[in-house]
Amino acid sequence: MRLREIDFIRAIAALSVIAIHITASYVTDTALGRAWNEIMRYAVPLFIILSGFVLYNIEMGRPRLSYLQFQRKRIGKVLIPYVLWTLLYVLYIARQFLRDNGVEGIPRLWGPTLDHLYYGTAFYHLYFLIITFQLYLLYPLLRDAMNRKPFWLLGGTFLLTLYAQTSLYMGWDTGWRFTSFPFWVFYFVFGMYFARNRADWKPKLQSNSVWVGLLWLGSLAVLFLDGYFTKKWAYSIKPSVMLYTILSFLFFYVAALRFVDTKSRFGKLLDWLSAQSFLIFLLHPLVLNLLGNQLKKYGYGGLFEGNLGMISLYVLITLLTCGLTWIGSRIPLTTYFGGVYTGKPKESKRDLT
């Protein structure tokens, strides 16, 4: 059974990722840009929490899948879009090279393309899928540990992620890339743990919603103080973001529960954003980059300067991305690119990944 409150949180995460990438170029220019970017720092970890939650929630009450059965069922839903988008972004960034060298230049792209596929570096957001692959590969093992020793698993992964994030934050050399699972596994396990205990936590969170809101604001204050004293703004990997992300999830969960029964257009919009969130995530950097290049080409590079320009750019990129996603949702091939085909309602339903 789909949980609409989780769908709503996913929609918020999708819109927040767009905001992070829009405001990234304003962090050093405006206080609003820096604040907005910092507030959105929960976005990527929130997606990971939701992935852990959904996977564990789906399997609860169902026959246990073996390791290979799980991988066959799940990994392709991420692998195929990842490969296609990597190839698309490689061709996009190499367009000038291909114009200069023609078809003869294509073989020279194979080496860089394989590197991009391995490291998730074809474009600045694809690293997230490298993290997802690792967590999917680990999931059956984490699931079994969650079924046996849930608190020990939660505590152990918390310490691992805290150490990994602190080491990068402090400049310690661990040899780990920031896409390595130790930096993110706690979020994933927390999502699983919340799914396991949702029935018990839900009434407690609802009855203490004011405290949840206050704690969330307190964690945001800690995040801002961290940035102010260390000057480490626009970082998603630091201990204060861990605290802020967990409380953001709980805050959004409590808030979303108020809308689960709504049949308004706003609720339907959030449902659609949630269903298409993966495609929106994969597509929006291309839209942003294309628009930026066209503005520079025709001498309108300064059109979106300042706070008003930043807000206008966010609205424009969000509308363009959602518009293109809606067009794509009418085409069956969209499923290979991470979208949900809505041409035939009976075929459009799919599990969240």
Q: Within a domain: residue 352?
A: no
> Is 89 or 261 the better-scoring residue by pLDDT?
89
- The answer to whether residues 190 and 246 touch, using CB atoms and an 8 Å cutoff, is yes
- The answer to whether residues 247 and 269 touch, using CB atoms and an 8 Å cutoff, is no
Specify the DSSP element, H or E, that contains 8: helix 4-23
Q: Within a domain: residue 156?
A: yes
Structure tokens at 116: 């991009």
**Cα separation of 288 and 234, whole Å?**
19
Does the structure show a pLDDT above 70 at 352? no
What is the residue-wise DSSP string for 37-52? HHHGGGHHHHHHHHHH
pLDDT in tens, 54-89: 999 998 878 888 999 999 989 999 999 999 999 999
What is the mean predicted confidence (pLDDT) over 6-35? 95
What is the mean predicted confidence (pLDDT) over 13-30? 95
What is the mean predicted confidence (pLDDT) over 273-280? 96
Does the structure show a pLDDT above 60 at 203? yes
The predicted pLDDT at position 326 comes to 97
Q: Within a domain: residue 210?
A: yes
Structure tokens at 313: 């750019």
Structure tokens at 14: 């999708």
> Is 262 or 86 the better-scoring residue by pLDDT?
86
Amino acid at 129: L
Does the structure show a pLDDT above 70 at 350? no
- The answer to whether residues 145 and 226 touch, using CB atoms and an 8 Å cutoff, is no
pLDDT in tens, 214-245: 999 999 999 999 999 998 888 999 999 999 99
Does the structure show a pLDDT above 90 at 26? yes
The secondary structure of the chain in percent helix, strand, coil, rounded to multiples of 5, reads 80, 0, 20
What is the residue-wise DSSP string for 216-253? HHHHHHHHHHHHHHH---S-SSSHHHHHHHHHHHHHHH
Query: Whose CA is closest to 325, among 312, 311, 337?
Result: 337
Range of the domain at 97: 4-347
The predicted pLDDT at position 200 comes to 96
The total number of structural domains that make up the chain: 1
The predicted pLDDT at position 343 comes to 80
- The answer to whether residues 14 and 25 touch, using CB atoms and an 8 Å cutoff, is no
Contacts of 126 (CB under 8 A, 6+ apart): 82, 85, 86, 89, 116, 120
Query: How far is the CA of 213 from the CAs of 50, 91, 191, 208, 262, in angstroms?
Result: 20, 45, 19, 9, 22
Q: Within a domain: residue 201?
A: yes
Query: How far is the CA of 102 from the CAs of 88, 94, 99, 106, 221, in angstroms?
Result: 17, 11, 5, 8, 53
pLDDT in tens, 131-162: 999 999 999 999 999 999 999 999 999 999 99
| Crossing angle (nearest 10°) for helices 239-257 and 150-170 | 130
Q: In the chain, how many H helices and how many E strands? A: 14, 0
What is the mean predicted confidence (pLDDT) over 205-214? 96
Q: Within a domain: residue 353?
A: no
**Cα separation of 311 and 14, whole Å?**
17
How far from the centroid of its chain's Cα atoms is residue 328's Cα? 20
The predicted pLDDT at position 353 comes to 43
Mean pLDDT of the chain: 92
pLDDT in tens, 318-330: 999 999 999 999 9
Q: Within a domain: residue 278?
A: yes
What is the mean predicted confidence (pLDDT) over 2-6? 89
**Cα separation of 144 and 34, whole Å?**
41
Q: Within a domain: residue 147?
A: yes
Q: Within a domain: residue 83?
A: yes
The predicted pLDDT at position 344 comes to 65
**Cα separation of 80 and 336, whole Å?**
6
Confidence of residue 124 (pLDDT cuts 50, 70, 90): very high
Confidence of residue 348 (pLDDT cuts 50, 70, 90): very low
Q: 3-class SS at 138?
A: helix
The predicted pLDDT at position 346 comes to 47
